[in-house]
């Protein structure tokens, strides 16, 4: 659910939306969303000064609050 939302948002940001993949990992009770994108799109997902990825993390955290789980977003390089 939260992973699908993050994947949708990232697809809207990148040049190659077909390359976007979100991997859900359970780590010590937390849900880790590892976002894989094309090499050229990593900068677009991170954003200037990390603003984009910070916004994605905020949205993911809000979605995790509904599940009573902590949600972390990582950008795989």
Output the pLDDT for position 67: 83
Domain extents for the chain?
A: 2-76
Task: Say if strands 30-36 and 21-27 run parallel, antiparallel, or are unpaired.
Answer: antiparallel
**Whole-model pTM?**
0.88
Output the pLDDT for position 66: 85
Query: Contact 74/33 with Cβ under 8 angstroms?
Result: yes
CATH homologous superfamily, domain 2-76: K homology (KH) domain (3.30.300.20)
pLDDT < 70 positions in the chain: none
């Amino acid at each position: 659910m939260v992973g699908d939302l993050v994947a949708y948002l990232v697809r809207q940001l990148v040049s190659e939306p077909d390359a976007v993949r979100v991997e859900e990992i359970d780590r010590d009770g937390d849900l880790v969303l590892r976002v894989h994108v094309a090499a050229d799109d990593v900068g677009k997902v991170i954003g200037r000064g990390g603003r984009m990825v910070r916004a994605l993390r905020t949205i993911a955290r809000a979605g995790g609050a509904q599940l009573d789980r902590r949600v972390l977003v990582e950008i795989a390089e």
